[in-house]
Amino acid sequence: MADLSINFAGIQSPNPFWLASGPLTNTGYQVMKAFDEGWGGAVWKTVGDPIINVGSRLGSLDYGGRRMMGLNNIELISDRPIEDNLREIAEVKRKYPHHAVIVSMMFEAKPAVWAEMVKRVEDTGADAIELNFGCPHGMSERGMGSVVGQVPEYTEAMTRYAVDVASIPVIVKLTPNVTDIRVPGRAAVAGGAQALSLINTINSVIGVDLDTWRPIPDVDGRGSHGGYCGPAVKPIALHMLSSLYNDQTVGLPLCGIGGIETWRDAVEFMLLGAGALQVCTAAMHYGFRMVRDLTEGLNDYLDERHIARVEDLIGQAAPKVGDWNDLRLSTSFQMVARIHSESCIGCNLCHIACDDGAHQCIGRIPGQIAPVVREEDCVGCNLCSLVCPVPGCIEMVPVEKGPVETWRQHEARLQQQQA
Ligand SMILES: Cc1cc2nc3c(=O)[nH]c(=O)nc-3n(C[C@H](O)[C@H](O)[C@H](O)COP(=O)(O)O)c2cc1C
């Protein structure tokens, strides 16, 4: 059995799977139930000054028969009294000393308030603090959440308020509602953060009811922009994670969040730099027991590859994600589509997709079921293999065409020729 335990910025956890701050981590009852099911850690629902919520709060993007591909919410931070949260956090940590208990916090930009609250959180025995600089709705209109994460100077200063008084690790949770995630990431580093987590939710309007013309979610006829999450946001999270991991000036442990639903997602996040993982939407959808599939699948994956420790995955694929300018040009290296005629069902989707949406290199031969690819015209875009409903029927095959040349090298060569 592979070792799934992690040490993330000094936080010990029996496995890398933590529940993200949200409705799943609102009470001690839930967190203890989750730990009993096998979750390695939990980030408590953001604690802050008491707020009042609205209903309804959630809207779903259903796609092709799949429920909750994306989830939108206008829920605010914890609406429970701070005393109740702190008492239950202490109880959880006492009963589960080997699990990771992290407390998410959000307060106004007042150093004295942070000093007092960090101290009270530490007194619970919690393992770490996560600063919520990410929620894009509601709290941002009150000068907290993503408005802090969107202004590097605020991120740095607010991080400093917590770091200056904390004796446990401070994780800064970043908002994806920025142009370049490295900017707030570097600001958090400058503020003294010990780790970063990402992503919080993406600003969004999920839809409109076609009968009532009311926005979704509907609060007595009105709606508001909310935070988007779930499987649909995974590619955005992976991009931001890898760009932070590859940034030489960041260099902090990264906790990956955003659309994690299967052990495969978990492996991808770890390969692109995550040292721990947080899950929200998928566990809201399927319940705490989903963690059994996550741990079993991850364990099998590691065992099959004779990888002894899950931490050996961290960042292994990240250096392969870089600038477009460093990719080999098509004059040097090409992919071409090959259709395996024996498995083709003659649906014609590849032909139509290529003819209308790509490069007109898949033709039909009268009396023959399988279309044929004119390889000399194929640009290797992948579209035919993506629309093909038969797994493995269209294979993308690499073709070496000449010496390695990237755009960067190409440009340098042209400049040399002109000089
Ligand atoms: C209903 C709901 C409430 C949330 N509340 C919080 C919160 O209080 N604090 C926080 O940092 N993130 C909050 N989040 C964001 C999640 O922690 C997480 O960053 C986001 O949902 C992306 O992960 P996912 O794709 O696994 O859901 C909330 C998400 C949802 C869906």
For residue 73, the one-letter residue type is N
Residue nearest to atom 30 of ligand 1 (CA): 22
Q: Atom 23 (ligand 1): residue with closest C-alpha?
A: 258
Residue 283 CA: which ligand 1 atom is closest? 26
C-beta of 145 in contact with ligand 1 (< 6 A): no
Q: Per-residue pLDDT tens for 65-112?
A: 999 999 999 999 999 999 999 999 999 999 999 999 999 999 999 999
Distance (Å) from CA 371 to ligand 1 centroid: 46
Predicted local distance difference test score (pLDDT) of residue 145: 79
Task: Give the number of the atom of ligand 1 that is nearest the alpha carbon of residue 197.
Answer: 19
Residue 365 burial (10 A CB sphere; 0-12, 13-18, 19+): exposed
- Exactly one of 135, 280, 354, 384 is catalytic; name it: 135
Structure tokens at 86: 């702190």
Whether 23 is in the pocket of ligand 1, judged by its Cβ within 6 Å, is yes
> Closest Cα partner for 370 from 400, 399, 338?
338
In short, whether 185's Cβ falls inside 6 Å of ligand 1 is no
Encoded tokens for 59: 């809207």
**Residue 285 — very low, low, confident or very high, per pLDDT cuts 50/70/90?**
very high
Is the beta carbon of 132 within 6 A of some atom in ligand 1? Answer: yes
What pLDDT score was predicted for residue 41?
A: 98
What angle in degrees, to the nearest 10, is found between the helix axes of 152-165 and 182-190? 30
Residue nearest to atom 13 of ligand 1 (CA): 22
Question: Is residue 281 in contact with ligand 1, taking CB distance under 6 Å?
Answer: yes
Confidence of residue 162 (pLDDT cuts 50, 70, 90): very high
Packed helices 263-271 and 290-304: angle between N→C axes, nearest 10 degrees: 60
Rounded to the nearest angstrom, the distance between the alpha carbon of 383 and the centre of ligand 1 is 33
Q: Using one digit for the tens of pLDDT, what is the confidence trace for 121-144?
A: 999 999 999 999 988 887 777 788
Do the Cβ atoms of 103 and 126 come closer than 8 Å?
yes
Q: Is 135 a catalytic residue?
A: yes
Q: What's the per-residue H, E or C state across 145-178?
A: CHHHHCCHHHHHHHHHHHHHHCCCCEEEECCCCC
List the domains of the chain with CATH numbers: 6-320 (3.20.20.70), 327-418 (3.30.70.20)
Query: The pTM is what?
Result: 0.97
CA distance 40 to 21: 14
Q: Is the CB of 279 under 6 A from ligand 1?
A: yes
C-beta of 118 in contact with ligand 1 (< 6 A): no
Q: Is 233 in the pocket of ligand 1 (CB under 6 A)?
A: yes
Distance from C-alpha of 53 to C-alpha of 67, rounded to nearest angstrom = 25
In terms of residues, how long is the chain?
A: 419
% residues pLDDT > 90 (the chain): 94
Share of the chain above pLDDT 70, in %: 100
Pocket test of ligand 1: the residue of 175, 181, 200 to mutate, having most ligand atoms within 8 Å of its CB, is 200
Strands (DSSP E) contained in 26-88 are 41-48, 58-63, 66-73
Q: How close is the Cα of 52 to the center of ligand 1, in Å?
A: 17
- pLDDT tens-digit series, residues 288-309: 999 999 999 999 999 999 999 9
Name the residue at shortest CA distance from atom 1 of ligand 1: 73
Residue 385 to residue 338: CA distance in whole angstroms? 9
Looking only at Cα atoms, what is the longest distance across the chain?
80
Q: How far is the CA of 72 from the centre of ligand 1 (A)?
A: 10
What was the pLDDT predicted at 418?
93
- Output the average pLDDT for the chain: 96
Distance CA 351, CA 344 (A): 12
CB 131, CB 173: distance < 8 Å = yes
C-alpha 326: how far from chain center? 25
Tens-digit pLDDT profile for residues 346-366: 999 999 999 999 999 999 999
pLDDT at position 60 over 80: yes
Residue of minimum CA distance from atom 5 in ligand 1? 22
